[in-house]
Amino acid sequence: MAGERDLEKLLAGMSPRLIGGNYVFCSVANAKYGDYSDTNPLASFTEKEGLTLVLKEDVAQIAGLPYDAVFRCITLELHSSLKAVGLTAELSRRLAQQGIPANMVAAYYHDHIFVPSESAQEAISLLASSDTNDPGREPHNE
């Protein structure tokens, strides 16, 4: 099933939804994929400096893994193609104009934006108001 590639359609129908819970990014030196699987990471990525894990904040605390900041996750409900051009740039630009950092993660079906927890409501409102399918609708929250 191919995802949407047209930027206008993606922006019009992205339906951003704030996912429940706080998330953190942790880096574990000398770790490899599969290590820390008991922490049930939402995502992981292997870098030369170590294994990056995206975890629920409370799980990272229990595991004793350090982190620098706490984030909320906004999921775009539209099935976007991994070959779509411009979505990440446009959403990052919109959030940056309001001083909100955006850490984008693309998965097979959806794009996810991690924003600082203190900016989450502003970010979801900003993104929801830019959904041209229904500009007056309320943002989705979990």
Predicted pLDDT at 76: 87
Q: Domain limits of the chain? A: 7-141
- Note whether 4 and 109 are within 8 A (CB): no
Q: Considering Cα of 107, then 112, then 18, then 126, what sign does the dihedral take?
A: negative
In this prediction, residues 24-49 reach a mean pLDDT of 93
Predicted pLDDT at 139: 47
pLDDT > 50? residue 128: yes
Q: 120-129 and 87-97 helices cross at what angle (nearest 10)?
A: 120
> pLDDT of 73-96, one tens digit each?
999 888 876 677 777 888 998 999
List phi, psi (to 5°) of 127: -70, -40
Q: Which residue has the tokens 């409370």?
A: 58
Predicted pLDDT at 135: 39
Select 7-141's CATH number: 3.30.2130.10, 1.10.287.1260, 3.40.50.10490, 1.25.40.20. Answer: 3.30.2130.10
What is the percent of the chain where pLDDT is above 70? 85
pLDDT band at 136 (very low <50, low <70, confident <90, very high): very low
Pairing of strands 16-28, 140-141: parallel
Neighbours of 37 (CB within 10 A): 10
Q: Which residues of 57-69 are buried (b: 16+ CB within 10 A; e: fewer)?
A: eebbeeeebebee
